Amino acid sequence: MRFLSVILLCAAASVAVSAELRQPAPGAHALVDVRIVLEPGRVIESGTVVIRDGVIEAVGANVTPPADARLHTFERAEGQDPITVFPGLIDPYYPVSIKKDDDNGETPPGRHELINPDRQLTAGDWPADRVAELRRAGFTTALMVADDGLLRGSGMLANLGEHGLSNNLLNPQFGQVASFDGRSSNRQFPGSLMGAVALMRQTFADAQWQATARAAWQRNPAQARPEWLEGVDALAPALAGQTPLIFESQDLLDTLRILEFIEPGDINLVMVGHGAEYQRLGAFGNRRIPHILPLDFPDAPDVRDENDRNVSLEMLRRWDRAPNNPRQLAEAGIPLMFTSHGLSSPNQIFANLVKAIERGLDADLALASLTTAPADWLGLGDRAGRIRSGAMANLLVVEGDLLVESPSISQVWVDGKQYVLAAIVPPAIDPAGTWDLVLGLGGMGDVEAQLVLSGPVSRMEGTLSVMGNDTPLTEVRVSGERVIATIDASRFGGSGTISIRLDVEGDRARGNGSGPFGEFTVRGRRSAGPDEEESI
């Protein structure tokens, strides 16, 4: 299994496969006869969504499509999952790397390299490749923040369509981002946690002093004009509670440190969690501090390997209890939002979300934590997170349910633009039988595998065998002449899921696969039909 993980990881650098296609279309569209999740807990079993010029014009069970709208209908075979339209997902904390100016590494006088409350993300910081990856996972809006420093500046709120920031910006400044996880380079101060906390404390005091001193001077200009400290004015709105202070916590001790540092008062504290809050829920007391929670649960220790059998009790407890964390925070009355931050791929969020739901997290709350909760917090409650008239046409078209390990997201709509991930058509083939496959792993060569599919096309099951290891498929879908199979990546030492897409022509197939280790090609032939398989 470890060898397979290594060769799949190497394949990521050698094979690239296009995963989405944006469809140019007229300004008016109608998604007809679909199941519509308006928001968590509100569902229309069969209705129509009308989009015009990037905005939802109408939605309901009795809506008639306008004459000029392009109709989008979804034919399904009997027994297959319904087509459901969900609100686009919102990531409330997505760190990106900031492009530094070419200043020979020098910091301007009076400034510290780790203290940048006046920093704003710009069009040059737009992470186009990562935006496309988020969009393929169903995210249509994100709050992007700088990923370095102690005081990192304001976040930038944007939709996740094409053509960069100019076509997607919603709010250039939101909140103030902070973290104790910052150290100076070249052995300068601060080089330790103690120094980082001291520098942060001094900066907060400077910002409070400057706001008070300059206000006093404005009232009485005859007195000496106070010294002006560049940059710290941008921190004043957060200290006054006019904008959220988003504080990223690295671990449990960091959370306790932040709770002591930001005492109850005017500051509107929002914490980016670490996943082990359940260990000291009592530390929050009566403070219902909203949490932006990563869902990067630890993988199960691989005790089959002798070198990994020496696992500490603490690590085992963390692996076992981490999926309980969202439910326990919710039961403690702490508002939740979920983020893909911390995951190697955004689509891994669904497998861990399912684990959290299995451990008692309410499914509607789980969906709300990716839609309505971040929309309301970001000031977008009337335009995002819900399917309603007047909202941005940020939508997901899903075959079946969204809250499953590997949801079948067929289309993503951002501002009324359609991105097709997989065509929705009735099955045109019956791929049941045994398929001998070759996985093309680029520079690592080819690996043989065997795929066994059984059952009716609307409810297929199967197993993938690689290097003597049999792994059950978590899902098999047949769309037209394409087979889409998903596998739990933890069986191969990874997180999330591995997807295989095969286009079948007779007894031959060709396609590609992707997962946490990268992308690879697949080709194969059917060596036995279902009847032959049963007789063996």
Q: What share of the chain is helix, strand, coil (3-state, %, to 5)?
A: 25, 35, 40
pLDDT tens by residue, 246-273: 999 999 999 999 999 999 999 999 999 9
Is residue 83 packed enough to be buried (19+ CB in 10 Å), middle (13-18) or exposed (0-12)? buried
Check whether 12 has a pLDDT greater than 80: no
Residue 105 domain-assigned? no
List the CATH number of the domain containing 272: 3.20.20.140
Dump the DSSP string for 246-275: EEE--SHHHHHHHHHHS-SSS--EEEE--S
Range of the domain at 433: 2-17+426-535
Residue 384 domain-assigned? no
Lowest mean pLDDT among 42-51, 214-223, 428-437, 515-524: 515-524
List the CATH number of the domain containing 436: 2.40.128.120
- Say whether both 300 and 310 belong to one domain: yes
Residue 125 domain-assigned? yes
Residue 232 domain-assigned? no
- Say whether both 323 and 299 belong to one domain: yes
Check whether 350 has a pLDDT greater than 80: yes
List the CATH number of the domain containing 60: 2.30.40.10
- Say whether both 364 and 444 belong to one domain: no
- Say whether both 409 and 441 belong to one domain: no
Q: How many distinct structural domains can be found in the chain?
A: 3
Lowest mean pLDDT among 115-129, 156-170, 510-524: 510-524
In the chain, the amino acid numbered 27 is G
User: pLDDT class for 25, splitting at 50, 70, 90?
Assistant: very low
- Say whether both 359 and 279 belong to one domain: yes
Residue 254 domain-assigned? yes
Structure tokens at 349: 């969020």
pLDDT at residue 344, as a whole number: 83
Residue 301 domain-assigned? yes
Task: Tell me the β-bridge partners of 34.
Answer: 47
pLDDT tens by residue, 147-186: 999 999 999 999 999 989 999 999 999 999 999 998 887 7
Residue 106 domain-assigned? no
Of residues 334 and 228, more confidently modeled: 334
Structure tokens at 333: 């009355």
pLDDT tens by residue, 479-490: 888 888 888 776
Question: Average pLDDT for residues 85-114, to the nearest whole number?
Answer: 80
Residue 64 CA, chain-centre distance (Å), reads 34
pLDDT at residue 457, as a whole number: 80
- Say whether both 169 and 27 belong to one domain: no
Contact at 8 Å (CB) between 215 and 221?
no
Check whether 396 has a pLDDT greater than 70: yes
- Say whether both 281 and 328 belong to one domain: yes
pLDDT at residue 302, as a whole number: 66
- Say whether both 408 and 520 belong to one domain: no
- Say whether both 48 and 124 belong to one domain: no
- Say whether both 116 and 254 belong to one domain: yes
User: pLDDT class for 17, splitting at 50, 70, 90?
Assistant: very low
Peptide bond into 190 cis (omega under 30): yes
Check whether 18 has a pLDDT greater than 50: no
- Say whether both 10 and 26 belong to one domain: no
Q: Name the pTM for this structure.
A: 0.80
Residue 271 domain-assigned? yes
Task: Tell me the β-bridge partners of 52.
Answer: 28, 55
Mean pLDDT of the chain: 87
